[in-house]
Each structure stands twice: as structure tokens, then as C-alpha cells.
Amino acid sequence: MKILKAFLIVIIGIIVLAMVAALFISKDYAVEREVTINKPKQEVFDYIKLLKNQDHYSIFNQLDPAMKKTYHGIDGTVGFVYAWDSEKKEAGKGEQEISKITEGERIDMLLRFKEPFEANDNAYMTTEAVSDSLTKVKWGFSGHMNYPMNLMPVLMNMEKSLGKALQDGLNNLKTTLEK
């Protein structure tokens, strides 16, 4: 009985410590990765501003080849929405909407996750000419998690796991465009 009581006290202590730590952890998170592609900036931008092209490079789009996808609007323009619905928990259900385009420079997207959890995040991709035939592409995500869920990015090591997915996607983009 003493062992069980001690075990419960330790568990309660860990939970209380985590809840107190969450008070001091940022509620906002951001992850960004980059790659340099051997193609002119406008060619790269024209490709990435079309959300349907993410099927060719995004790790997220490749989680479930059988996921149901729907599109609303004109791809590559503000207001275009790409929605997905998957039976696989890793892919879940949600939608991505183009919220702003700075032509040749940046595309901003709103992400609305519905399953397996609800969240609203932001994503963006930027292009920067390194030379006439070399382009730096950055892909980033940012979001907000209220207390005590703000502990999740730390526990899940969001920087590492989301960062790897972004980098893998950018590496796929580089391979696709440099063919």
C-alpha cells in the first residue's frame, strides 16, 4: 500500500510540475526550414503557389495516397481552398487556404485542422533569388496553443518532428524541380 501511495504522489507531482511549467512556456510556436534550388526564382514561385503541386513534394500530402481531396476556387489565387479527409489518423482531416500572395516572393496559407485534433495554424513559403538560376525557398509553420496544451510542442519536440517533415518536403521539391 505504501508503494502505491508513493507512486500516486510521484505521478501527481509530475502532473503539477508539468502544469506549472506550462505557465512559463510560450503559447506560440514557429518552425522554418529552407533549401536552395537550381532554378530561377519565378519558375520556383510559379510552381509552389499552386497548392495542388504539394502532392508532388509535401510529406503531409503523401501520408495517405487514398485520402479524399477537394478543391474550391482557382489554384494559385487568394481564397483557393484545398481540403483533405483521411481515415488514417496521421493525415486526419482539414483544409488549407491561400490567404495572401506577394507575387514572386511569398505565399501565405491558413491551415484548419479538424481531426484528429482541432487547430488553426499559419504556413508560408518564400522565394529569394540567390542568383539568376538559383533560388532559396523557405517553408514555415506557426501556431498558437492555449494553456495547458502549450506544453505539447515541447513534449512532441515540434521543432525536430515538424522541422524534419518540412525539410523532407523541401528536399522533394528540389528533386522535383531540378529534374
> What's the pTM?
0.80
The rounded radius of gyration (Å) of the Cα atoms in the chain is 20
Pair 30, 163: CB distance under 8 Å = no
Instruction: Give the closest residue to 95 by CA, choosing from 118, 111, 119, 77.
Output: 111
| Domain made up of 27-177: CATH architecture | 2-Layer Sandwich (3.30)
pLDDT tens string 47-78: 999 999 999 999 888 888 889 999 999 999 99
pLDDT tens string 24-38: 676 777 889 999 999
Pair 111, 120: CB distance under 8 Å = yes
Residue 177 pLDDT level (bands cut at 50, 70, 90): very high
Instruction: Tell me the domain boundaries of the chain.
Output: 27-177
Task: Give the cell for residue 136.
Answer: 532559396
pLDDT tens string 90-148: 889 999 999 999 999 999 999 998 987 788 889 999 999 999 999 999 999 887 676 67
Residue 122 CA to residue 144 CA, distance in Å, equals 9
